Amino acid sequence: MRFMMLVIPKGYEKAAPGTMPDPKKIEEMMKYNESLQSAGILLALDGLHPPATGARVTFSHGKAKVADGPFADAKETIGGYWMIKVKSREEALQWAARAPMGDDEIIEVRQVQEMSEFPPEVQAAGARLGQ
């Protein structure tokens, strides 16, 4: 089973462009990343620039509208992610609980939908697209 662990750092929604994490925090995170890799479950990971440098594309009546960050209505924002492959949801939650996060920071754990979980007609459409 694949799971995405989404990092929601406290206050990151208000971070200025170019904001970088504390080197000590990075060192702790790298040790955690190495433990995921050593366990053979790490598929991918990345940190994300602050939302002030991002954009949102919203859709209405078949038209797309682009809005540049920062986003005044944001209460939480994703700061990075890990993609892991484990045997169960419980195992994914155990790994998330080991992450070196600060007070009031969040890791949201979400299972990836596999093509085999979809009904046959959806699988057929995906097969046409090479999924």
Tens-digit pLDDT profile for residues 34-59: 999 999 999 999 999 999 999 999 99
Chain segment 85-109, per-residue pLDDT in tens: 999 999 999 999 999 999 999 999 9
Domains and CATH numbers, the chain: 2-128 (3.30.70.1060)
Q: How many residues does the chain have?
A: 131
The model carries a pTM of: 0.85
